[in-house]
Amino acid sequence: MSERPLREPAFLVLTALAGGPMHGYALVEDVLRLSDGQVRLHTGTLYGVLDRLREAGLIIVEREEIVDSRLRRYYALTDAGIARLAAEAERMRRNASAATARLRRLRPAEGTI
């Protein structure tokens, strides 16, 4: 995957998998928790994200289980995925710091108007 910033669903999926291998529905639930109920991934979106992350080598299928006669696939971060998530988190932290610093300067000015 190119070094373009990850989109929010992809970032949240990687963040969820940083907690350990998970299957599809567990990912949906964990992403919902991580985003404070803001992001509830649809099935099509989730699998689109998982496909792209797999193609980029950021995640792998760790194992497959049969539960209630239905396949359940567990996904896990790769080393490349861990590095990418760390880089992305750092990039977002820098952006957030810059925004916070600007807002701090903006607020006193607003008060003088």
Partner 1 sequence: MSRRDSPRTDGGARREPAAEALERRYRRLLAWYPHVYRAANADDMLGVALARSAPGRRWPEPGEAVNLTVSGIGERLGGMLRQPDRRDTAAVLAIAGPLLLAAGAMRTMASPFLFTPAIPALVTPERMLVTAVAFAAWWTLVALAGMLRWRRVAATGACLGLAGQVVLLVLAVSANDGALMVAYWQAAMALVTVTAALGSLRGQGRTLSWRAVTALAAAPAILAGRSAVETAFIRYTPRPGTFGTISDPLSGSERWLGVGLFAVALILTLTVIATLRPAVRRRAAVLLLPALLTTTLACWGFRGFVPAGPPIGLLALSPFHGQDLVLVPVIGVVAGFIVLQFYERLLRRGPGKPADAGLS
The residues of the shown chain that bind partner 1, judged by CB under 8 A, are 23-25, 28, 42-48, 67, 70-73
User: d(Cα 9, Cα 45) in Å, to the nearest integer?
Assistant: 8
Are 75 and 60 spatial neighbours (Cβ–Cβ below 8 Å)?
Answer: yes
Cβ 56 to partner 1, closest distance in Å? 14
Say which amino acid occupies 4. Answer: R
Cβ 11 to partner 1, closest distance in Å? 19
Say which amino acid occupies 13. Answer: V
User: Which lies closer to partner 1 via its Cβ, residue 21 or residue 24?
Assistant: 24
User: Which lies closer to partner 1 via its Cβ, residue 39 or residue 82?
Assistant: 39
Cβ 71 to partner 1, closest distance in Å? 4
User: d(Cα 41, Cα 31) in Å, to the nearest integer?
Assistant: 8
Token digits of residue 81 = 């995925």
User: Which lies closer to partner 1 via its Cβ, residue 23 or residue 89?
Assistant: 23
User: Which lies closer to partner 1 via its Cβ, residue 61 or residue 98?
Assistant: 61
The owner of tokens 């194992």 is: 63
Cβ 54 to partner 1, closest distance in Å? 11
